[in-house]
A = this chain, B = another copy of it.
Amino acid sequence: MDKTASVGIVAPQKIPFETPLPLQNGKTLPRFDLMVETYGELNAGKTNAVLICHALSGNHHVAGYHSAEDKYPGWWDNMVGPGKPIDTERFFVVALNNLGGCHGSTGPVSPNPETGQDYGADFPMVTVKDWVKSQAMLADYFGIETWAAVIGGSLGGMQALQWAMDYPGRLKHALVIASAPKLSTQNIAFNDVARQAILTDPDFNSGHYAREHTVPRRGLRIARMMGHITYLAEQGLGKKFGRKLRSGGYEYGYGVEFEVESYLRYQGDKFAGRFDANTYLLMTKALDYFDPAADFGGSLEKAVAGIQAKLFVASFSTDWRFSPERSKELVKALIAAGKPVQYIEVESHHGHDAFLMEDEAYVKAVRAYMNNVYKDVRP
């Protein structure tokens, strides 16, 4: 692997915040840590900072490698790095693990200062609004008054949009990719099945599985297998696996027969071994709750009326989880509210996951847009 084409070896840092954070659900987090990675250099005017918000199962490790032995780079290494569309030779890129996450930021696997034990199920539910608030505190920590851009795909795109609404003066651009202004009924339904798989796993133990020395692997695995199908499109799945059989013929049993079964089970097992169930539960809830228009009588146009940032919106032709129609709802509202917005619908057979892939038109569009972002902010 050519690690020179990336930001190279990077180290995350844990940033403590000793200020209480009041949450949307009425509770207060007494203190919290955010696990963060940064790439590139903050310029003297502190105008070139870019925030990357992660999706459901993402984290702060966006680009580069943690060691020379590391086999895989961060989750958006194809997009973030020297000379890449989000160019670390131009921008100071900040990425974090969200509150409630399981990769170093305060979340269900962190100690609850009140009990000394892990929070587990007692970790308060956090929302997109809460995340953005904590990210604003992170901006303060770095002395960043205004982000050149806040960028995210899927749930990350919701954070970028919420940023533009909640802190209109603190970002110049928001890139909302493969996202939606709120979940559809079907989206919520899939999330509920995923949660029920976890909640009814006998090893879940009401969310205090760590205390009971169990892991609700079965539930997490099923949730991820199902989720994974919704991230992909038949167009891609069919191309990759079709009806290919592992052996030559049917075996009339419940082992792996079709290659796609092997792939899915592998994805489910891998995820169940690395991700925290309580984090998964609360992040799906953050998705469900996101609905900025609700505070404006259901009018998205009114919800975006205060936005000062310029918007870039991208969707993917075969994304049926957050279909192009959902992005167009946002684009229409922005246009109706007189906001500058650039929209691209990318042809892709990668479904929702396309936002992580390298479809040429997509990469080109982000590169071109980020070039313009840079023109706006360079000293």
Which residues of A are in contact with B by a Cβ distance under 8 Å?
25, 124-125, 182-186, 188-190, 192-193, 195-197, 199-202, 218, 221-222, 225-226, 229, 232, 234, 237-238, 240-243, 250, 252-254, 257-258, 260-261, 264-265, 268, 281, 285, 288-289, 291, 320
Contacts and interface: CB of A to CB of B under 8 A. Distances in A.
B193 A237 contact: no
A189 B254 contact: no
B258 A192 contact: yes
A358 to B, nearest CB: 22
B192 A261 contact: yes
* Most B-side CB within 10 Å, residue of A196, A232, A289: A196
B125 A243 contact: no
B218 A200 contact: yes
Given A225-B193, A229-B190, A183 B265 contact: no
A225 B196 contact: yes
Nearest to A200: B218
A234 B196 contact: no
7 contacts: A184-B238, A185-B258, A185-B260, A188-B261, A189-B261, A192-B260, A252-B285
Contact of A242 (B185, B192, B285): B185
Interface centre among A225, A281, A289 (most CB of B within 10 A): A225
Given A199-B254, A200-B222, A189 B243 contact: no
Contact of A288 (B186, B188, B257, B320): B257
Given A197-B197, A222-B196, A188 B252 contact: no
A200 B225 contact: no
Given A253-B125, A291-B243, A237 B196 contact: no
A175 B289 CA distance: 44
B252 A192 contact: no
Copies of the polypeptide in the assembly: 2
A240 B291 CA distance: 19
Contacts of A240: 185
A185 B254 contact: no
Given A188-B260, A195-B254, A229-B193, A182 B243 contact: yes
B193 A226 contact: yes
Given A193-B226, A222-B222, A258-B288, A243 B188 contact: yes
Interface centre among A190, A237, A250, A285, by most chain B C-beta atoms within 10 angstroms, is A250
Contacts of A261: 188-189, 192
| Highest count of chain B CB atoms <10 Å: which of A232, A234, A320 | A234
A229 to B, nearest CB: 5
A26 to B, nearest CB: 8
Contacts of A201: 218
A285 B196 CA distance: 24
Most buried by B among A200, A238, A242: A200
A11 B218 CA distance: 42
A221 B243 contact: no
B125 A264 contact: no
A221 B192 CA distance: 12
A69 to B, nearest CB: 33
B265 A196 contact: yes
A192 B225 contact: yes
A12 to B, nearest CB: 29
Contact of A241 (B185, B190, B291): B185
A260 to B, nearest CB: 5
A285 B199 CA distance: 27
Given A193-B222, A229-B193, A288-B258, A185 B265 contact: no
